[in-house]
Amino acid sequence: MIDLKDKKNCPTIEMISEYVGNPVFMQFCLEIKNTYKCIEKIEYSSCSWEKGWNIKFKKAGKTLCTVYPHEFFFYDYDCYRYKRKSAC
Q: What is the pLDDT of residues 11-28, one digit of tens each?
A: 999 999 999 999 899 999
Mean pLDDT within 46-58: 89
Q: What are the structural domain ranges in the chain? A: 13-77
Q: What was the pLDDT predicted at 88?
A: 43
Q: Are 29 and 39 in contact (CB under 8 A)?
A: no
Mean pLDDT within 62-69: 90
Mean pLDDT within 52-65: 92
| pTM of the complete model | 0.80
C-alpha span between 68 and 56 (Å, rounded): 9
Phi, psi (5° rounding) for residue 60? Answer: 55, 40
